[in-house]
Structure 1
Amino acid sequence: MIKREAFGLISNLRGFMAFSKINLSAVSSYPYGLIKQDGRGKVHNINFVESRSSAPSSGNPSRLRRSLNQNGLPRRIDDGSAIAHAVAPPSQFFHGSRVLLEDEVGLNLLKGFGEPPGIPSRQKYEKMVVAVDVDEVLGSFLSALNKFITDHYGLDHEVSEYYVYEFYRIWNCSRAEADMRVHEFYNSLSFRIGIDPIPGSQAVLRNLSTFCDLSVVTSRQNVIKANTIDWIEKHYPGMFKEIQFGNHFALNGKSRPKSEICRSLGARVLIDDNPRYALECAEAGIKVLLFNYHNSYPWCKDGYVDSHSLITKVYSWEEVEQHLISWAAAAWK
């Protein structure tokens, strides 16, 4: 517990905002530290950020919005480059007369909404790092793409006919032609607003974010990075710590394997619908929840992944939640 005298130090910090007037705003980071000593004699540093202004930032508001995670703390996007910090509302950092550390914030959120069964009291609390795919895991990409192809090329396919993610095999055209059609879709209104979230994903991810560090790991291309981030922040605001792009199947630029991205994040689990990525990451020692929503993804039914001990098939977001609660509880014992 921080002693009451510590608050006198806060008032003397040059340029620090009055707590009653703090608004979320872009800042230049000038960290100041306080020292907290717990009952076991362990010392914690508590950092604050000085803001040059309490007025709303004149910069790009979407850039600022995308720089924060669900606890109001800075998040990296893709390349890990430095981005604007922000001062969070005081209620996120202050509870009664004490300052909450980031992990304590997560702990109180979890306890406030009811702790999932099997999750122990976490004095030695460490969040599980989980990587989450986008297409067919967070959003119904294929359904929107198929409708676009039907409207523009007169093809009549059901989503159940997509037994592989190599679209030229489904559309009976060359690979180059298929790539061109997909990029036409990327430039369309259907791509920007026509992809719906997978049912159950939003509620489950809100729960998971209280005891998991969630990051997006997608094979999507760099050319659709901005639209992808906008879509994620619209439907999953503040839930993801990082957003990483593999740039697979791109017309330009280098690609990164999902296993490499997951290792760089320290991810223990990947949630993905693609058996090839599932096997790649499992071979790298990462647990995989192979997502096949209501058993409706024909490309997800390849039998060669069934025997791998690190790959578990799931058919709903509720099943995802059950497995992650179980694994987190086992890790904290």
Structure 2
Amino acid sequence: MAHLLGYDPCSRFSRAFPHYPSGSSYEGNRHVGFTLKACFDANGGDNANRLFVKEKKKPFGFTCVPLPPLLGDLEKGNSVRDDGRDASRIDVEDKSLGGSPTKPFCFPDQQLPQKLVVAVDVDEVLGNFVSALNEFIADRYSSHHSVSEYHVYEFFKIWNCSRDEANTRVHEFFETPYFKLGIQPIPGAQMALQNLSRFCNLSVVTSRQNVIKDHTLEWIEKHFSGLFQEIHFGNHFALDGVSRPKSEICRSLNAKVLIDDNPRYATECAEAGIRVLLFDYENSYPWSKTESDYQHPLVTRVINWEEVEQQLMSLIASS
């Protein structure tokens, strides 16, 4: 993907992974150490479920911005731009920026605009939670389901049980290898986020419960090490503890964009003035196909991480 979009090799860099305050933990024979830039607030508040990592300074270099359709034009529902050109393609006429129809814009780092703050969901956006959960439910409860059955992201409605029973089953799932070892990254997420980290301040905003915080941190460190500056847990559908709305977390981050698969969160954040990329991997998420959410001007549907990258880069290029 990076080569196809013409990214400069100098844009690849690494940062230390945000560290957890407990000191250290072990995963198998591998030691994972954690430290914190800021302290946990045991009484709640903005820092209660928030992790920080200091960003390393990057050496001076040149940055290349690809030329996808402009998100602003697409959000307006325009297939034709204000200048009369097709919004689905860009013909670069201003050669002063070093761009061309086949070559991305390149300019020195100090000319980059302020980084775009982007919040990223975990389940079904970074990792395939439902697929792993279905395997557990099939083996433990002899109840077989496919992802295509989840017309809503409310498990009790799919499993034909009470909400409390569904929550209990999910927490049982957390204790098994189906959860701890079975969730794999969504294809394309790692490379796209590596590319985007050059231009965006990325943070995780997940509805996951506090009870799986440690494992979530280890999973992110394993698959997306050094890419996220902060990690926030909403603690939704938890058996205990206080939950936080995603819109509230995003506002505390000053996030301009949320990448999420859940239409309910998409609507909540869009109504709070936050752009949302509604993620529907290869059109395989029935729960994300809600017509009312497509009609909101701040919600744009994407079907893979290549489209996520294109939409965010177009927003950056047009800012």
Q: TM-score range by the shorter chain?
A: 0.7 to 0.9
Q: Does the aligned pair in 2 maintain the 1:144–1:195 contact within 8 Å?
A: yes
What is the match of residue 123 of structure 1? 110
Q: CA deviation at 1:79?
A: 2.4
Map of 1:8-157 to 2, 5 A cutoff? 60=24, 65-67=33-35, 79=47, 102=57, 104-105=58-59, 108=61, 111=63, 115-116=65-66, 117-118=104-105, 120-125=107-112, 126-157=114-145
What is the match of residue 101 of structure 2? none
TM-score, normalised by the number of residues in structure 2: 0.72
Map of 1:188-227 to 2, 5 A cutoff? 188-227=176-215
Q: CA deviation at 1:303?
A: 0.6
Which stretch shifts more, 169-178 or 313-322? 169-178
Match of 1:301 among 281, 289, 303: 289
What is the match of residue 56 of structure 1? none
Q: CA deviation at 1:85?
A: 8.2
Larger radius of gyration: 1
What is the match of residue 169 of structure 1? 157
2:241 aligned with 1:253: yes
Work out the CA distance in 2 between the residues paired with 1:208 and 1:167. 33
Work out the CA distance in 1 between the residues paired with 2:264 and 2:157. 17
What is the match of residue 258 of structure 2? 270
Q: Give the number of equivalent residue pairs.
A: 251
Work out the CA distance in 1 between the residues paired with 2:51 and 2:25. 13
TM-score, normalised by the number of residues in structure 1: 0.69
Q: Does the aligned pair in 1 maintain the 2:65–2:317 contact within 8 Å?
A: no
Q: CA deviation at 1:215?
A: 0.1
What is the match of residue 329 of structure 1? 317
Work out the CA distance in 1 between the residues paired with 2:161 and 2:132. 20
What is the match of residue 178 of structure 1? 166
Give the 3 Å change call, closer, same or farther, for CA 83–168 of structure 1 in structure 2: closer
Q: Does the aligned pair in 2 maintain the 1:119–1:329 contact within 8 Å?
A: no
Q: CA deviation at 1:123?
A: 2.8
**Which structure 2 segments of 5+ residues have no match?**
1-15, 17-22, 41-45, 67-103
**Which structure 1 segments of 5+ residues have no match?**
1-23, 25-58, 69-73, 93-101
Q: Does the aligned pair in 1 maintain the 2:276–2:299 contact within 8 Å?
A: yes
SS in 2 for 1:199: coil
SS in 2 for 1:194: coil
Q: CA deviation at 1:75?
A: 8.0
Work out the CA distance in 1 between the residues paired with 2:50 and 2:133. 34
Q: Does the aligned pair in 1 maintain the 2:65–2:313 contact within 8 Å?
A: no
Work out the CA distance in 1 between the residues paired with 2:183 and 2:196. 23
Q: CA deviation at 1:158?
A: 1.1
Per-residue CA deviations over 1:88-146 (Å, capped at 9, x if unaligned) read 9xxx7xxxxxxxxx2x44x63x64xx554346544353111000000000000000001
The residue identity in structure 2 corresponding to 1:60 is S
What is the match of residue 91 of structure 2? none
Work out the CA distance in 1 between the residues paired with 2:25 and 2:191. 26
Per-residue CA deviations over 1:212-234 (Å, capped at 9, x if unaligned) read 00000000011111111110111
Work out the CA distance in 1 between the residues paired with 2:39 and 2:315. 26
Q: Does the aligned pair in 1 maintain the 2:275–2:299 contact within 8 Å?
A: yes
Q: Does the aligned pair in 2 maintain the 1:120–1:329 contact within 8 Å?
A: no
What is the match of residue 97 of structure 1? none
SS in 1 for 2:295: coil
Q: CA deviation at 1:67?
A: 4.7
Q: Does the aligned pair in 2 maintain the 1:289–1:312 contact within 8 Å?
A: yes
